[in-house]
Amino acid sequence: MKADVTQERIRNVLMGVLLPLARTLLRCGVSYTEFARLSKRAFVEAASADYGVRNRPTNIARVAVMTGLSRKEVSRIRVELKKNSLSALTYRNIPAEVLHRWHTDTTYLDTNGYPKALAFAGPKSFVTLVKSVTGDIPARTIERELSRSGALRFVLGRKLLPAVREYVPDSASSKLIEGLQFGLRRLTETICFNADPQNIKSPHIQRIVHTGGIAASDVKLVKDSISAIVAGFGRQIDDYLTSFQWRSGRKQRKAGPYYHVGVGLYYFENEEKG
């Protein structure tokens, strides 16, 4: 009986998570069929990776039992996953990475620790900055995108200087990708890590602060104030993490392995019912 109640609570909470996600996916042209196809692949990959014996993939029969899919369907999906694993797919926000490096890599900072104005090409230029982040996208493309979004300005005879520290995409699809990859995905990973019995004694920090009863006339003030506080805190965290990050300015890189470490910050509000 207790297990049934727990399962029902999980379903209710999951519905609350899926509803706003479904609204956003529909606005961006992602259908239920595509979402269901990806969900099946995710279930098969998780069951295959997490429930095997002696570090081997879970056998097809057990994956079928756990996921409710047929063995034939599980086998087909596992063949697809060998070609292109979902967990291996990552989204990179290249413009944001370029701005981040510009604000943190000593190669591109002045003596006061502020970003240097860079020539487009040449030694220690915008081109070399972009190449230190990606070799796939031309520097001119990044320059145009940063200029278009207001994140870049021209000074001192066409030298480039960042106008902001954070790049914020302005299209609905870009915001969705950004939010799913760096917001929802990372939050979900933290929730799952903390829910794992093996991690009870050393969980990741996970906090939420909220209150009700705020008058509609005060919401804008509260939102603006919190946004400023969180933005400042985010910059402090960014500076702290960067102090541990290997960069070209250091003489020797320490032996691996390496970890991707971060903190998620977001604001929410909704009108109270009743």
pLDDT of residue 85: 62
User: With pLDDT > 90 as the criterion, what percentage of the chain qualifies?
Assistant: 54
> What pLDDT is attached to residue 254?
65
Among 28-32, 86-90, 174-178, 185-189, name the one with the lowest average pLDDT.
86-90
> What is the per-residue pLDDT for 245?
74
What residues contact residue 139 under an 8 Å CB cut-off, 6+ apart? 120, 121, 126, 127, 129, 130, 131
- Residue 177 CA to chain centroid, in angstroms? 8
64, pLDDT greater than 80: yes
* Residue with the larger pLDDT of the pair 53 and 272: 272
pLDDT tens sequence across 131-186: 999 888 999 999 998 998 889 999 987 899 999 888 877 666 777 878 888 888 89
**What integer is the mean pLDDT of 45-74?**
89
pLDDT of residue 159: 93
**Residue 249 pLDDT class (50, 70, 90 cuts):** very low
The whole-number pLDDT of residue 1 equals: 54
- Could you report the per-residue pLDDT of 69-87, keeping only the tens digit for each? 999 999 999 998 888 765 5
Least confident of 28-37, 133-142, 193-202, 249-258: 249-258
**Does residue 66 or residue 178 have the better pLDDT?**
66
For 16, the token pair is 């609350």
Which residues neighbour 30 within 8 Å (Cβ) at sequence distance 6 or greater?
none
Could you tell me if 44 and 86 are in contact, meaning their C-beta atoms sit under 8 angstroms apart? no
pLDDT of residue 274: 64
Task: Say what the pTM is.
Answer: 0.66
Longest dimension (CA), the chain: 73
pLDDT of residue 27: 80
Q: What is the pLDDT, as a whole number, of residue 34?
A: 87
- The per-residue pLDDT for 248 is 43
* Domain ranges across the chain: 2-90, 94-162, 172-206, 208-274
Considering the chain, what is the average pLDDT of its residues?
87
- Cβ-based burial of 17 (10 A; exposed 0-12, middle 13-18, buried ≥19): exposed
What average pLDDT does range 92-97 have in this prediction?
Answer: 84
pLDDT in the model for residue 246: 58
Greater confidence, 239 or 248?
Answer: 239
CATH number (1.10.760, 2.30.30, 3.30.160, 1.10.10) of 2-90 reads 1.10.10
pLDDT at 129: 96
Q: Where are the alpha helices (DSSP H) in the chain?
A: 2-27, 32-50, 60-67, 71-83, 94-104, 126-133, 139-148, 172-179, 185-195, 216-242
Amino acid 106 reads: T
Would you state the pLDDT for residue 143? 94
CA dist 58 → 76, 77, 197, 262 (Å)? 15, 14, 20, 31
